[in-house]
Structures are given as structure tokens and as C-alpha cells.
DNA sequence: TATGAATGAGTCTTCATTCAT
DNA sequence: GATGAATGAAGACTCATTCAT
């Protein structure tokens, strides 16, 4: 029944990660603007001082958290890339992947959080652009620059829609739109390999 | 005593409006998170006390400001509706309107600011949805629900793109994509009227 | 027996003065380095917030307090000037004034506090120089630049001595030294007015 | 296991000295108020823990550093004593030594730093007095108590002047003043030795 | 009613000191 | 013994909100 909180084990690596993760969660849930040392410490279950021990300023910690989110997103994007390489970049495949992505609420929120944060912070623009640019990059070989970009923009719109709107979009709506955007550049995936 | 002195802003209505407008500007410029009584008073050119006189809490004032932005957006949407009624809902007309909208940086920023704020505040969702829903509404008669929704989503994506990305999109990219999305539902505007 | 501290009367003028005075006292007693908002508030008997209400930064408040001390010093220097004008700048008169000054512990401490603060803050140098320069200025007409400066420097040394050393200096020691420094430039005060 | 590895600073004595020296430097450069464990460790090139290993509190370390500065001063004072013993205590010799002292900015700053620190810490008074008292002691045999004290006070004033004022004092000003203070007690140095 | 002074809660940040390793 | 991670007590500063005037 001793109420003196025992000093924690020394494991800087883990602690850093716990703090960054907590900050990332809070950004997703409440936005970058609401981030405070206190809220992070509470969420991470560490004393206030720990949040300033590893990061010189809140700005730095915020940056780490956003990069953490970006890394999460990158990992998913890499999965998408791999799938597209195997199954082809047809509207059906893309729609499938989008619906999968929408089903992962956490992933969706992380992605939109980064973009949202970028609206009022030019330094984050590059981070925010990445997802969309990579998606366009995956499509450009098969569909050309303009169609690829337009498709990526449409997909971005879909993600936003699902973040703001409660009614989910139907697969056929998404697939038809993509088919229209990609037009006659659509070809079945190559048989080889 | 001289009645030449212009009636000192005795009009509470006007003052309220001045304050709300100032708050709306600040939200657009710096985000909802940076809003303070002091910054609003300074921007509006009114004493600090005036900002608490007319609005019980900062939250309330923030809400009014966001509603003000929404009303601004509605006014522009109404203009779009009128134009579409006259010129038809073809990709060319839509592209024209989108490019016009992108050229109005202030309008664009206002719109994205409301959506951004809505990401972390469910109460604002309805406000944020409005623009997209109305746009879809204008297209539904000519193109059907799904195509209209898809087009509105694409347009939303275009607006986001221009907010995050520096390189502007070409008219042909936008028009081609819209043409693909709206597909064979596209018809020339009616001759009548 | 109500323990709710009643909100104070509104008298900004007085409050500012109370705060600056408290800060000046603390500088004299504990040095500029030990100055904190909290210590000032406690000394002044005002809530913490009051110390930040009137001064944008602690630096600004510190500056005001030092200027307050400088003004105190200036007032005394003006008294010295007036006395020297009437009674002449002889060693005897100077010694008399010095001993008077030394008797006023508070004045002495204020003076040395300003100089001490200037040691590590170049911005205060000018403030710290003033006393010595004015003293030299009073003597220059009668004794020439070098002797006047040397006398002022000696007096400065006397003030420091009395601040650090417990044993007081005798009047004869001071007077003899001044007589030596001023040398044959010493003349009795003019008879006229 | 090669014994070529230079014996890792295993010498606690040396480490203590390194830390104290670093602290002393910092006091001279930035004042006692700005002293922190971290700044000392950084300056000394030792780990943070070393600064708390050898000194129970920062206060203790600060005291050691000030005593270190006092010892430095003593060493220079001893040099002055030796010179005065050889060359005599004439104004010319004293002026020479003063100008030499003023040229050694580091020495000057160390000296004033100790005095400055003593202003707000009575425990340091004795340390701060030492320089002046020793200087007077060197002169007392040749010039008597009062003149010696007065000369020491004047020299102290000169040191302060150079710390606060940008314009340096001329040798003739200093020498004349000393000549006046020491008066007819001045004698050429003894032939002996 | 209109104003801005008053207050304290809450923010970021720095550091002395403790103590696990 | 030596190191640096851990902790919390301050410190500067900002502001929503209250309320005297």
C-alpha cells in the first residue's frame, strides 16, 4: 500500500517510443493544436518531466509524432504498392484497396490528421503530400501522369468524404468513377510473372 | 452635442458582426486553435471586453465564426448553382467554376478551414458536409446520384490538392476526369431559358 | 471571516508603482538574478497575475525597477549638485556629502545594486555609469577633467568599500585623499551668491 | 588491455579541479546566477553526474569556484607584492602595475566577479575584501594606514571604472591621483637588495 | 452598458537533485 | 564509483473569464 510511485526502470529507448506514440495518438484524436506536454504525459503514463527529457521542445516532439504517423502511412502505402504490382492497377483492384483502407479507421484518421495539420503549418506540407504523390506514382506507368494524378485526387476525396460523412460510399460508385477517370488506359494486369 | 459626431457604433448588431467577422478571418489564417479573445479584439478593433460581452464563451464565439464561414460558402455555392442552371452541368462548365474557385484563395481557405476544424469536432461535421452535398445536389438531376456524388468528391479532392500542393492542376486534367466520372450522362445544356 | 480574497480596487497607476517598487527592493536585497515574478508578487502583496499584467516580460519589469532605482539615485545626485553649487567643491564639503551618503544605507545599496547588475548586462552599463559621470561633471569646472574623474573614481571606491567592508572609513582619511587628488586646484567657494 | 590506453582520468583530484575551474570560468563570464550543473558539466567536458558526485549541492560547488577565483587573485596579488618589494611603492610603479592588471581582462573580470557575488552574499564578503586589504597592507609600511587604505580604495575604483566604462583611463590620471593620495610619504625605493 | 483590470489555471521549459544501473 | 535517466518543483508567460467601475 505504499503510495510512493516507484521510479521507473531505465529504458530510454522504450520510453521515447511510448511518448511519441502517445503524442501521435493524441494528434489523431484531438488534432495537433490540442497537444500539450501534460496530455502526452498522461496518455503515455509517464511523469511530466519525461516528456521534456527526450525532446527539447514541444515542437520537436510534435514533429516526431507526425513523422511517426507518416511512417505508419508509408508502411500501408508500401502494402498498396505491392498489391498493385501483383494485381494490376485496375479500378476493381483500386476500389478493393480503398475499401480496405476505409475499414481501418485508425489508418484513415492518422492520414487525415497529418493533412489537417499541414493546412496551418507549411512545414508539414511535404509530409502531407506524400501519400497522394505516391499513389499517383503507382498509377502513372499504366495510365499516364494526368490520369494517375486525377485518380489519386479522387481517392483523396474519398478518404476525406469518409472522414466527414457518416454514410459510406458504395464500391460500385468508387469503381465506376475510377473507371471513368482512368478511361481507356485500363488494361488487365499482365499475365507474366 | 454637435450632431455631426457620427453615431458612435451604438449598434450592437454591427458590433457582433464585426467581431464574428474578425474571428472568422483569424480562423482562416491561423486555424481554430490559435483563436483568442485578445487576437479577435485586436483584429476587430474593439475593446477586449466587447468580445466577452456578446458571446458567453470563446467556444460560442468560435462557433459563430465557423457558421459565418459556412454562410460565406453557401453564398458562393448559390452562385455556382445559378451558373450551372444556366450553363448546364458539363465538365467544361464545372472546370471553369472550379478554376474560378481556386483563383479565389480566400474562398478556398475558408472552405478548407471549416472542414479542417470539423475533423476534430464532430459538431461541425454537418457544416463541413454541406458544400460537398450541395454540389452533388446540383448534379444529381442531370447525372444521377452516384455520378453526382463521385464528381463532388473529386472536386473536393481538387480543392484539397490546391491547399496542400504548390503546383496547380491543369484545366484539361480536371475536365477529363470530370468527363470520365460523369460518363455518358453528359448532355449539352438545354436550349430553353 | 470570509477567506475569499476580495478582488482589489482598480487603480492601475498605484499597482504598477507598487510592483515596480517591490521589484526594486528585491534587486537591492538579493540582486537582479534572484528576481522572479513570484517573489515580486509576494513582496508587493499582489497576485501573481498582476506582475504579468503590467509588464510584458520579466525583463521589462526588471528594467523598470532598475530605472526606478536610477531615478532614486538621480534625485540624490541632484541634491549633491545643489549643495556643491552653494558650498563649493572642496574636500571638506565632498567628505561631508559622502559621509551623509554612506549613512543612508538604502541609498548606498540601491546605487551599488545598479552597478552590480551592470557587470553582467551590458545594456545597463549606461545606467551604471551615470552616477560616477555626473559626480565628475560637478567637479570638472573647478578642478579640470582629470582631477574630477579621479575624484569621482575615488568616491566610487569609497562607496564600494563601505558596501563590502564592515569598518567605516574615517572622515579624515576621505578628506585627505580628496585633497591630494584635487591638489592645488582647490579653492574656497566664491563669496558671491 | 593494452596499457597504451592513457590512464583514464581516474584521478578524482584532477576531476574536481577541472569542474571547479569550469565553474569559475562560467561565474566570470555570466555571473553566479547563471551557474547550473549542466552548464558546468558541458564546459568541463565531464558527464553531468560528475558535477554532483564531487559536490553535494550546487551551492557548495559555487563556493568552491569562488574560492578558486580568490586563490587566482591571491596569486596575482603575491606577484604585485613581490614587485612592490623590489621596485618600491611609488605612484609610477603602482600605475604600472594597475595598467598591467587592467590589460589582463580575465584577471580583472575574475576579481570583479567575486566582489559582485559578495554584494548579495555576506558569506563572500571576506573573500571580496581580501584583494583590497592586501593591497593596502603592501603600502602601509611606506605610507601609513590611512594613505595606504585610501590608495587601495582608489585602485579599486579604477578597476570598477574599467569594468563599467568603455573609455580607458590615462596613466597620467592614475599616477597623479596616486601621487596626491600618497602625498609626501612618497620616497624612492631603497637602494638595497 | 461598455470597458479593461484582475485573477488564477494551465502552458512550455529548465534544472537541482536522486538514484538505478 | 561513475553515469545519465528520472522526477517534480519552480519559473516565465498566456489567457479565459469575471467583475469593478
pLDDT digits (tens, 9 = 90+) for B108-125: 889 889 999 998 888 889
> What H or E segment, with its residue span, contains residue D124?
none
Q: What is the CA radius of gyration of chain C?
A: 20
For C181, which of D31, D165, D177 is closest by C-beta distance?
D177
Q: How many CB pairs under 8 A join A and B?
A: 135
Q: Which residues contact C138 (CB under 8 A, 6 or more apart)?
A: C80, C81, C84, C89, C148
pLDDT at res. A157: 96
Burial of D22 (0-12, 13-18, 19+ CB in 10 A): buried
> CB distance from C125 to chain D under 8 Å?
yes
For D153, which of C116, C150, C154 is closest by C-beta distance?
C154
> CB distance from B120 to chain A under 8 Å?
yes
Average pLDDT rounded to a whole number, residues D71-81: 92
> CB distance from D40 to chain C under 8 Å?
no
Q: Is the pLDDT of residue D1 over 50?
A: no
Predicted confidence (pLDDT) per residue in D88-123, tens digit = 999 999 999 999 999 998 888 899 899 999 988 888
Average pLDDT rounded to a whole number, residues C174-193: 78
pLDDT at res. A122: 86
- Which residue from D minimizes the CA distance to C121? D30
Distance CA B88, CA B190 (A): 7
Please compute, for residue D74, the number of CA atoms within 13 A of its CA located in the half-sphere on the CB side: 10
pLDDT at res. D106: 87
Distance CA C82, CA C74 (A): 12
pLDDT at res. C174: 97
Q: Which residues of A touch B94 (CB under 8 A)?
A: none
Q: Is the pLDDT of residue A13 over 80?
A: yes
Hits for CB < 7 Å against strand E across A residues 59-118: 59
> CB distance from B168 to chain A under 8 Å?
no
Distance CA C1, CA A16 (A): 51
Please list the helix, strand and coil fractions of chain A in percent, rounded to the nearest 5, in that order: 80, 0, 20
> CB distance from D108 to chain C under 8 Å?
no
pLDDT at res. C3: 45
Distance CA D22, CA D66 (A): 11
The band of B28, judged by pLDDT with boundaries at 50, 70 and 90, is very high
pLDDT at res. C190: 55
Q: Is the pLDDT of residue A2 over 50?
A: no
Q: Do C129 and D165 touch (CB under 8 A)?
A: yes
Please compute, for residue B65, the number of CA atoms within 13 A of its CA located in the half-sphere on the CB side: 32
Average pLDDT rounded to a whole number, residues C19-45: 96
**Nucleotide closest to A10 measured between CA and C1':** F5
Predicted confidence (pLDDT) per residue in B32-72, tens digit = 999 999 999 999 999 999 999 999 999 999 999 999 999 99
Q: Do C119 and D112 touch (CB under 8 A)?
A: yes
Q: How far is CA D103 from CA C45, C154, D108, D169, in A?
A: 48, 20, 8, 12
pLDDT at res. A53: 95
What subunits make at least 3 CB pairs under 8 angstroms with D?
A: C
Report the predicted TM-score, pTM, of the whole model to 2 decimal places: 0.88
Work out if D57's Cβ lies within 7 angstroms of strand E: yes
- Which residue from D minimizes the CA distance to C168? D149
Do D84 and D141 touch, CB atoms closer than 8 A? no
pLDDT at res. D43: 97
Q: Which residues of B touch A155 (CB under 8 A)?
A: 157
Q: Is the pLDDT of residue C48 over 90?
A: yes
Predicted confidence (pLDDT) per residue in C58-85, tens digit = 999 999 999 999 999 999 999 999 999 9
Of the listed ranges B4-18, C93-107, D37-51, D171-185, the least confidently predicted one is B4-18
Q: Is the pLDDT of residue D193 over 50?
A: no
Do D61 and D23 touch, CB atoms closer than 8 A? yes
- Which residue from B minimizes the CA distance to A128? B164
> CB distance from C131 to chain D under 8 Å?
no
Distance CA C27, CA C66 (A): 8
Distance CA B161, CA A118 (A): 12
Q: Which residues of B touch A30 (CB under 8 A)?
A: 120
Average pLDDT rounded to a whole number, residues D60-82: 94
The three cell numbers of residue A116 are: 489537417
**Alpha-helical regions (H) of chain D:** 12-30, 37-44, 48-53, 58-87, 91-103, 105-119, 125-143, 145-164, 171-182
Q: Which residues of B touch A105 (CB under 8 A)?
A: none
Distance CA A127, CA A163 (A): 19
> CB distance from D147 to chain C under 8 Å?
yes
Domain A12-185 fold = Tetracycline Repressor; domain 2 (1.10.357)
Percent of chain C with pLDDT over 70: 92
Write down the mean pLDDT value for chain C.
90
pLDDT at res. D6: 44
Distance CA D150, CA C169 (A): 9
- Nearest residue to nucleotide F7 when comparing alpha carbons to its C1'? A49
**Nucleotide closest to A38 measured between CA and C1':** E11
Q: Is the pLDDT of residue A9 over 70?
A: no
Domain locations in chain A?
12-185
Amino acid at each position: 500500500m505504499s503510495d510512493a510511485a516507484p521510479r521507473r526502470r531505465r529504458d530510454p529507448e522504450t520510453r521515447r517510443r511510448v511518448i511519441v506514440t502517445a503524442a501521435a495518438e493524441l494528434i489523431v484524436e484531438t488534432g495537433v493544436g490540442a497537444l500539450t506536454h501534460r496530455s502526452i504525459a498522461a496518455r503515455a503514463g509517464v511523469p511530466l518531466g519525461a516528456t521534456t527529457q527526450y525532446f527539447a521542445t514541444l515542437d520537436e516532439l510534435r514533429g516526431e509524432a507526425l513523422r511517426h504517423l507518416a511512417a505508419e502511412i508509408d508502411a500501408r502505402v508500401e502494402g498498396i504498392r505491392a498489391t498493385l504490382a501483383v494485381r494490376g492497377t485496375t479500378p476493381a483492384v483500386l476500389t478493393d484497396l480503398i475499401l480496405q483502407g476505409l475499414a481501418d479507421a485508425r489508418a484513415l484518421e492518422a492520414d487525415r490528421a497529418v493533412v489537417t495539420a499541414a493546412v496551418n503549418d507549411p512545414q508539414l506540407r511535404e509530409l502531407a503530400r506524400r501519400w497522394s504523390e505516391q499513389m499517383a506514382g503507382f498509377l502513372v506507368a499504366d495510365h499516364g501522369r494526368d490520369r494517375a494524378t486525377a485518380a489519386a485526387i479522387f481517392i483523396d476525396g474519398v478518404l476525406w468524404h469518409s472522414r466527414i460523412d457518416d454514410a459510406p460510399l458504395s464500391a460500385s460508385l468508387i469503381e465506376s468513377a475510377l473507371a471513368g477517370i482512368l478511361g481507356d488506359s485500363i488494361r488487365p494486369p499482365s499475365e507474366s510473372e
